[in-house]
Amino acid sequence: MVAALVLSLTGMGWAMFQDLQAGLTTADVTGFNAPDGATDILLVGNDSRTDAQGNPLPPELLAKLGAADNEGQLTDTMILVRIPNNGQKAVAISLPRDLYVEMPDAYGQHKLNSAFARAKNETASRLAEQGAGPAEVHEKSVAAGRRFLVETIEKLTGAGIDHYAEVNLLGFARLTEAVGGVEVCLKEPVDDEASGADFPAGRQTISGTDALAFVRQRHGLPRGDLDRVVRQQVFLASLADKVLSANTLANPARIRELIDATQQALVLDKGFNVLDFAARMRGLAAGDVRFVTVPVVGGVDTDEGSALGVDQDAVQRFVATSIGPSAAAKPPAPTGDTAITVDVFNASGVTGLAGRVSGELGGQDFGTGAVGNAEPMESSVVRHAPGEADRAAAVAEALGDLPVEEDASLGSGIVQVYLGDDYTGPGTQSWSGDAPLQLDGAVADATAPQQQAPPPAEPPLTAGDVPCVY
């Protein structure tokens, strides 16, 4: 996708587009979806030991990539990219791998990252019993795994996934080399034997196997998988900025390398037309790509170990409003509290507070709006558009009778909540009763050791940001 965008922006012509499209691996994954105001693309990082064409990687290459030679195929990175129909911005929504979700087709509740493997393994067993050959078993079982993963995420998010893009370990490493490396910044030095991550503190440019280790590390991080999600987001933000930069766009050799790496790295759905995609995305700038994480309610113990609980209704409201209320599909105008869209901003420094308060309001049938952080405030306040004090009063009452004030800059039906240092209402306590280890819109891995609460979370990332992370 980034290669297609580079070709479009540089005007390098139809022949190179044809070359790119012809060399891509495609799969029959997605179906028709009703319009919902956006093009939805599921990006999947598959912990596969094969290339994009399904050929096994040799042991020496697996060792270089820091990957064990096993048969597991877990989708450890899942990001839903929503691009509004005007193509002028995009939001990338991370879906933590340990979300404990209800899967389709009577599969029951399981961790999200196991969806692909469950359908793949079941299909492979059935085909083998029917006497199918190894090639047919592999092709059809992998296709079943991809389709089931798409269906599971559609059920969770409420979004109709239009396109699918899958990258494997080898492909990811080569893509980062093709752009000349990506800048990241670490708060502390890292030396993790499990992932191979070995980096000094501070800003640095990484690529290849180092980049793979950076986004895969989860051991030794203060918040386990949550910090890994943050790493993935900051890396992709920096990558998008690098791809859209003049240095990349003006370098024909880099563009050729990017095309070659893309063909080796990606599996796309059969309906993904890269020329059409690039034409629609020509107006996209790096700062117009935003990175967020779905809301999570807390840790749960399951037969599969510790997982992350999720409120499906809250996730679907979050996803629907991620591209803005005007772009998201809406039901007919309601007459009750759901007519109010409530934005919640954390001005308290208490990590994760806005996400929990937004969930509380959603549980009381208020419309869910933006969730994020704001400049520190001592006192909480609920702000409303002119003439709509009654709407703000309903929200304020639900949160423990917060003060209300008018804000002429707000549009009709929008209420904004700012949670200051004095806030003690619903959502104050985390799932365990302790200080939460989470960002707004996400929660820490319940398997991680309990740590002191980390510093306040940053606001949603945009491409071009290079914040220092753990």
**pLDDT single digits (tens) 112-121:** 999 999 999 9
Residues 339 and 227 in one domain: no
Q: Compare 322 and 207 and report the one with higher pLDDT.
A: 207
Residues 237 and 370 in one domain: no
Task: Decide if pLDDT at 444 tops 50.
Answer: no
DSSP string, 309-342: E--HHHHHHHHHHTT-TTTS---SPPSSGGG-EE
Residues 259 and 341 in one domain: no
Which pLDDT value is given to residue 335? 34
Q: Compare 233 and 333 and report the one with higher pLDDT.
A: 233
Task: Decide if pLDDT at 140 tops 80.
Answer: yes
Task: Decide if pLDDT at 235 tops 80.
Answer: yes
- The winner for highest mean pLDDT among 87-96, 153-162, 274-283 is 153-162
Q: Compare 8 and 302 and report the one with higher pLDDT.
A: 302
Residues 40 and 187 in one domain: yes
pLDDT mean over 137-147:
91
Residue 108 resides in a domain: yes
Residue 313 resides in a domain: no
Residues 186 and 72 in one domain: yes
Across 88-102, 312-326, 409-423, least confident range: 312-326
pLDDT mean over 374-398:
90
Check: CB of residue 284 under 8 Å from CB of residue 2: no
Query: How would residue 455 be classed by pLDDT, with cut points 50, 70 and 90?
Result: very low
- Outline where DSSP puts E strands in 327-413: 341-346, 367-373, 381-384, 404-406
Which pLDDT value is given to residue 38? 81
Handedness of CA 215, 220, 224, 227 (dihedral sign): negative
Which pLDDT value is given to residue 450? 31
Q: Compare 257 and 247 and report the one with higher pLDDT.
A: 257
Tokens of 394: 């309903």
Query: How would residue 244 be classed by pLDDT, with cut points 50, 70 and 90?
Result: low
Residue 146 resides in a domain: yes
Query: How would residue 458 be classed by pLDDT, with cut points 50, 70 and 90?
Result: very low
Residues 95 and 216 in one domain: yes
Which pLDDT value is given to residue 440? 35
What's the CA gap between 167 and 219, in Å, rounded?
A: 23
Task: Decide if pLDDT at 446 tops 50.
Answer: no
DSSP string, 106-144: TTEEEEGGGHHHHHHHHHHHHHHHTT--HHHHHHHHHHH
Residue 286 resides in a domain: yes
Residues 152 and 245 in one domain: yes
pLDDT (tens digit, 9 = 90+) per residue, 31-73?
Answer: 666 667 788 999 888 766 665 556 666 566 666 666 554 445 5
Nearest CA to 383 among 413, 405, 366?
Answer: 405
Q: Share the mean pLDDT of the chain.
A: 76
Task: Decide if pLDDT at 429 tops 80.
Answer: no
Which pLDDT value is given to residue 399? 93
Query: How would residue 371 be classed by pLDDT, with cut points 50, 70 and 90?
Result: confident
pLDDT (tens digit, 9 = 90+) per residue, 311-362?
Answer: 898 889 888 887 765 333 333 333 344 467 888 888 887 777 887 888 788 7
Which pLDDT value is given to residue 62? 61
Identify the CATH number of the domain in which residue 221 sits.
3.40.630.190
Residue 445 resides in a domain: no
Nearest CA to 282 among 38, 464, 39, 87?
Answer: 87
Number of domains in the chain: 2
pLDDT mean over 169-190:
86
Identify the CATH number of the domain in which residue 417 sits.
3.30.70.2390
Residues 183 and 234 in one domain: yes
What interhelical angle do 115-129 and 134-157 show, nearest 10? 150
Check: CB of residue 175 under 8 Å from CB of residue 265: yes
Tokens of 153: 């995420």
- Among 293, 316, 350, the domain boundary falls at 293
Which pLDDT value is given to residue 334? 36
Which pLDDT value is given to residue 11? 53
Number of H helices, E strands in the chain: 14, 21
pLDDT mean over 440-450:
32
Residue 324 resides in a domain: no
Task: Decide if pLDDT at 132 tops 80.
Answer: yes
Task: Provide the domain limits for residue 435.
Answer: 333-440
Residues 286 and 338 in one domain: no
Q: What percent of the chain has pLDDT over 90?
A: 23
Report the Cα 187 to chain-centroid distance in Å: 22
| Other beta carbons less than 10 A from residue 438's beta carbon | 26
Nearest CA to 432 among 243, 306, 261, 327?
Answer: 306
Which pLDDT value is given to residue 245? 65
Which pLDDT value is given to residue 200? 95
Residue 119 resides in a domain: yes
Residues 371 and 247 in one domain: no
Residue 466 resides in a domain: no
Residues 286 and 400 in one domain: no
Residues 27 and 131 in one domain: yes
What's the CA gap between 203 and 209, in Å, rounded?
A: 18
What's the CA gap between 225 and 296, in Å, rounded?
A: 13
Which pLDDT value is given to residue 34? 64
